[in-house]
Amino acid sequence: MCGIVGYIGNQKASPILINGLIRLEYRGYDSAGISTIEKDGLSIMKDKGRVKNLYNLEGIDDLTGTIGIAHTRWATHGKPAKENSHPHMDNSKTFSVVHNGIIENYNELRKFLTENGYTFYSQTDTEVIPNLVHYYYSKDTQSDELKFLRAVQNACADLKGSYAIEIICKDYKDCMIVTRKDSPLVIGKGEDENYISSDIPAILSFTRNFYLLNDLEFAILTREAVSFYDKDLNAISKKAEVIEWNAASAEKDGYDDFMLKEIHEQPTAIRETIGAKFSETSKCEFDELNFTKEYLSGLNKIYIVACGTAMYAGLVGKNAIEKLCKITTEVDVASEFRYRDPLVDDKTLCIFISQSGETADTIAALKLCKEKGAKTLAISNVIGSSITREADYSIYTHAGPEIAVASTKAYTSQVMLITILAIYFAEVLEINTTTLNTLKKDIMELPAKIEETLKLSENIQDFSKKAYQEKDIFFLGRGIDEAVAKEGSLKLKEISYIHSESYPAGELKHGPIALIENDITVVSIMTDCKLVEKTVSNIQEVITRGAKTLVITNQDVDEKMFDLTIRIPETNPFISPILSIIPLQLFAYYISKEKGLDVDKPRNLAKSVTVE
């Protein structure tokens, strides 16, 4: 939901800013803009549409400023249009601001500022910020080096909502100020230069040293240093964290799209996520966790709360936790959970899954569970992300940066990690050793089986050529395969814009079968030996009604029945989703390509949903 970049150093800022925006474009692509401090004051260049449009703006090459801020927008308040693009200036053109988040009380602030003589030129919530900063700045009679910071602090004290903000001022030519609340922002530390970004990968080619700002903290960046202040402007110190991701992992590396690259990175992502947490002969260990048998056996319930794909990973986690640990586990969508007064107390363990660690609803759900006295555990792919800073415990998937909007390697890594977590819980509870040892052995063999599965892409590509013009596609499964059907259906709809639905195969007869008509495509996943015959019967029912069928299986089925059968390697049922989802990721990918769509940046979506 909007990406922001900032640079202060000795190089020309504009190319660095545009380059950073291109890498952040997955966060929103309705408009883009940059603002730099030039010899004659602040400059703003912005336009509707993609970041690359900035290269065509007259005068963009003439910018020489070495300090600047930049923004790529996912529109919330105000339609995608040049006047609503960031950066925004105050009326006197003293301040330039970019903002990611939502100012909830902007109407009230707009009214206040209008009454005080300010005029607004956009429909955005953001435009109140530079004007509010100016309001406080003009009222401050002192003119010391902290006047700019005081004005920003006073303005922020009036804001309700979420924000990551960068501000430059024409009177302070050698610094920029940043602050955040409930929206992501990282500071990259360089040699006589410093960077700002909404996420780490966008500036990974410049530095691996990052400062993380907590909510309501301020930072002043100069070329040489970064100084930090708490909300009352007391100076605080921070240590830079070294991020181990390498810059190449944020590049396409010869693949046509990030999504295809990320699908192929799954063997590595799973290997890295397994890491050294266990061996076939040793117990599972998480350095970050210290759960006891007493605590786990006293739990009334585990909640897994997340959004979208991460929530579907949670459904697979529920299966593992319930079967291996015998603890009732419920999975819920964060945006619903947070508003339905869930039954959570100090005997509930609440697990939150979020690739980005910045999803607003998931963070809010976590805060709610803390208030209700539950212990909270975050699963994220981003070290230092908001969710991991809020939770009592945090464990990480090691998928590396995921750039494509549609999640692939993060999903399979989440499934892997939560399954290992279930093993850890079961071992702490001292149950089921034989099942656990077999599962651990099967997990070790999984990366090689993912590699085998990836080799099946050619048949899927051919089938996609037959299915890409469909209006509706159905996904069916039973048991754990139903959770995979849900994720497969989501992947397809988000990048191909084909309407798709997923159903438990046994539910078909209770209504959805009325939608099956001649030549419609039905995709089915069958990996559970106990349920395969039942699912085959359900597929037979749709074939009778004229459906084309794609079956993903590792079971002994009569392939002649189906239009295409994709045979994935056999594996332990607890981890079969990690293999069975791969053909579905490829199916969605090839359909999207066949339709000539932008696979990595599907319309209306953004990678990180930092607003409700």
**Both structure tokens of 67:** 């300090």
Give 229's Cβ-side CA count (13 Å radius). Answer: 16
- As a whole number of angstroms, the distance between CA 477 and CA 480 comes to 8
Q: Which is nearer to ligand F6R, 355 or 554 (CB)?
A: 355
Minimum CB separation of residue 202 from ligand F6R in Å reads 16
The active-site residue, picked from 2, 156, 307, 369, is: 2
- Taking Cα atoms as reference points, which of 408, 471, 468 lies closest to residue 591? 468
- 304: which strand partners? 331, 351
- As a whole number of angstroms, the distance between CA 70 and CA 149 comes to 20
Give Cβ neighbours of residue 496 (< 8 Å, ≥ 6 apart).
468, 588, 591, 592, 595, 597
Minimum CB separation of residue 377 from ligand F6R in Å reads 15
Q: Which is nearer to ligand F6R, 310 or 344 (CB)?
A: 310
Minimum CB separation of residue 161 from ligand F6R in Å reads 19
Q: Which is nearer to ligand F6R, 309 or 576 (CB)?
A: 309
> For the chain, how many residues are written?
612
**DSSP secondary structure of 479-516:** THHHHHHHHHHHHHHHHH--EEEEEEGGGGGGTGGGG-
**Both structure tokens of 72:** 């790529």
Question: Rule CB under 6 A: which residues touch ligand F6R?
Answer: 307-310, 354-356, 359, 362, 406-407, 490, 494, 608-609
SS3 call for 566: strand
Minimum CB separation of residue 243 from ligand F6R in Å reads 17
Q: Which is nearer to ligand F6R, 365 or 420 (CB)?
A: 365
Q: Are 255 and 264 in contact (CB under 8 A)?
A: yes
Q: Are 571 and 586 in contact (CB under 8 A)?
A: no
Distances (CA, A) of 233 to 151, 160, 217, 229, 471: 11, 19, 8, 5, 57
Confirm whether 48 is a catalytic residue: no
- Per-residue buried b or exposed e for 94-130, using 16+ beta carbons within 10 Å of the residue's own CB: bbbbbbbbbbeebeebbebbeeeebebebebbbbbbb
Indicate the residue whose CB is closest to ligand F6R: 308
Q: Which is nearer to ligand F6R, 87 or 314 (CB)?
A: 314
Confirm whether 175 is a catalytic residue: no
Q: Which is nearer to ligand F6R, 16 or 307 (CB)?
A: 307
Please identify every residue annotated as catalytic: 2, 607
